[in-house]
Structure 1
């Protein structure tokens, strides 16, 4: 994809990867609209960075469709959708209450992403050069034992991205998947303070370098995530699973 001259809508753009991407896109000269559930946070970010904003709850189809209509009405030139929606919750399947967390994860991470793509794909096909960006994880390929539904949701996003890329090959829409490592964000409480996690700013710069230098890239795999993303491909899956989970009790 071209990293300049776009009009970009980022659902889930009020914190973490979404906000960092929004800032980077804007710095590169793109028009950026961010979505989120909290109007107060949206207003603050609009004042601080100059983003256009729209309220959206990806767990509610009507909210997604309303946000789509508002974005397309105000910015008919919108040509990039960052269809990111993510929560990460520890679950323990030995206890029956794990189902509640699992359902919330599927509702947000999988169905939220699907709702966004379903809402915007028809419009994106009318733009001459458009992109859907999805966000998966190294945990889609090497599992963390305490987050089974999160791992599975990101595995779904990976294969879904691969598949819709095939279906959209004869359209103007490119599909780019960002495969993220463990980052210093509050995706899980306290994650921003874990020294072993990768700094968010470094991840965004690594990702931006690949997007800028490889305009035809389909999956952005930075060096930091390769141990997890490629563990099975490189025949070290069992050892990587053991390493990843050795600190988890």
Structure 2
């Protein structure tokens, strides 16, 4: 929990920023990556020693170039946090599908994680306390019909992370999955940031860090109490009830 060099994508707001600040406060070297230079500069200025780097995770060439840079500039890098992601509502009825939105979600939520993990694993493998942490979602386990590709992208990550975990056992790289509930952030727009039904970001980050410090990561997953109902719905025989709550039908 301290003394690491941590790279976090999607770190200019929400969960990514919260994790960056929490790891920095615990004595880690933190490198934040995001698309907005102004926010990177602001966050870095507020936390001396934190480094900000502009990165569009949809650009595979930019990810590869950053890996080459950091191999020289940050030789102690040992933790990658794949946090960048977007969420958009979509309509799938005949004639209403927006495939550009679908592609953007897939490229950001899936391909960026696959590309970043492939690019940075050679840098972190073999280092003490090497780890890859990827943010999925409670909606990977109980989807909402109005966010179909977002939910599916997180379900993909959950499955993919399990395979990655097994393959990296011999490489000594810990593979963790962070499974947030509905959290106050800008993920789906400004309304989410102020939604009283969402978990306050500070409370979420505090519980996540507490779980990490205690080694409370069952099956490699970081679960706050609020998300366990969704995560274990099928296991507990409650999937249909949770699905209906998320997806009410018209009478």
TM-score, structure 1 normalization: 0.95
Partner in structure 1 of residue 165 of structure 2: 165
Q: In the alignment, is the contact (CA less than 8 A) between 1:59 and 1:112 conserved in 2?
A: yes
Q: Is it true that 1:226 corresponds to 2:228 in the alignment?
A: yes
User: Match for residue 49 of structure 1?
Assistant: 47
Shift of 1:158: 0.6
Alpha-carbon distance in structure 1 between the residues aligned to 2:221 and 2:63:
25
List per-residue Cα deviations over 1:97-153 (Å, max 9, x = no partner).
332211110010000111110110111113132000000101000011100000000
Per-residue deviation, 1:58 = 0.7
Given that 1:42 and 1:53 are in contact with CA atoms closer than 8 Å, whether structure 2 keeps it comes out as yes
Give the one of 33, 36, 44 matched to 1:35. 33
1:243, distance to aligned residue in structure 2 (A): 1.2
Q: Does 1:68 align with 2:70?
A: no
Aligned partner of residue 240 in structure 1, secondary structure: helix
Over the residues paired in the alignment, what is the CA RMSD in angstroms? 1.7
Structure 1 unaligned runs (5+)?
none
3-state secondary structure, aligned to 1:118: helix
Structure 1 range deviating more: 211-220 or 182-191: 211-220
* Selected match of 1:25 from 23, 26, 48: 23
SS of aligned partner of 2:136: strand
TM-score, scaled to structure 2 = 0.94
CA distance in 2, matches of 1:24, 1:40: 21
Number of residue pairs matched by the alignment: 247
Structure 2 unaligned residues grouped into runs of 5+: none
How far the C-alpha of 1:195 sits from its partner, in A, is 0.5
